[in-house]
Amino acid sequence: MNWLSKAALILVIVGALNWLLVGVFQWDLVAAIFGGDTLRESSGLSRIIYTLVGLAGIYSITFLFTDNEVRSSK
């Protein structure tokens, strides 16, 4: 995986983990770091979706440590 793909994947994972924090604790880490309202009011359904996105981000961490080279079959 090249450096640009890794950087993009890391940003996606950080974003997903932030949504996990919003879904579980209603707390926005990015807003806490860079200023802004850290508490978010959300409906129950949106919190479930945020949590699922966060769990997908945790799963995506494994992609950083695997060789995801695309190979053509001939």
pLDDT in tens, 28-67: 898 889 988 888 788 889 999 999 999 999 999 999 988 7
Domain contains 73: no
Domain contains 71: no
Q: Which domain holds residue 28?
A: 3-65
Q: Is the separation of the CB atoms in 20 and 55 below 8 Å?
A: yes
> 65-72 long-range CB contacts below 8 Å, 24 or more apart?
67/1, 68/1, 69/1
Q: What is the DSSP letter of 9?
A: H
Flag whether pLDDT at 70 surpasses 80: no
Domain contains 52: yes
Can you give the pLDDT at residue 1? 77
Domain tally for the chain? 1
36: left (phi over 0), alpha (psi -120 to 50) or beta: left
Least-confidence region, from 4-8, 20-24, 54-58, 69-73 = 69-73
pTM reported for the whole predicted model: 0.79
Whole-angstrom distance between the N-terminal and C-terminal Cα of the chain?
Answer: 22
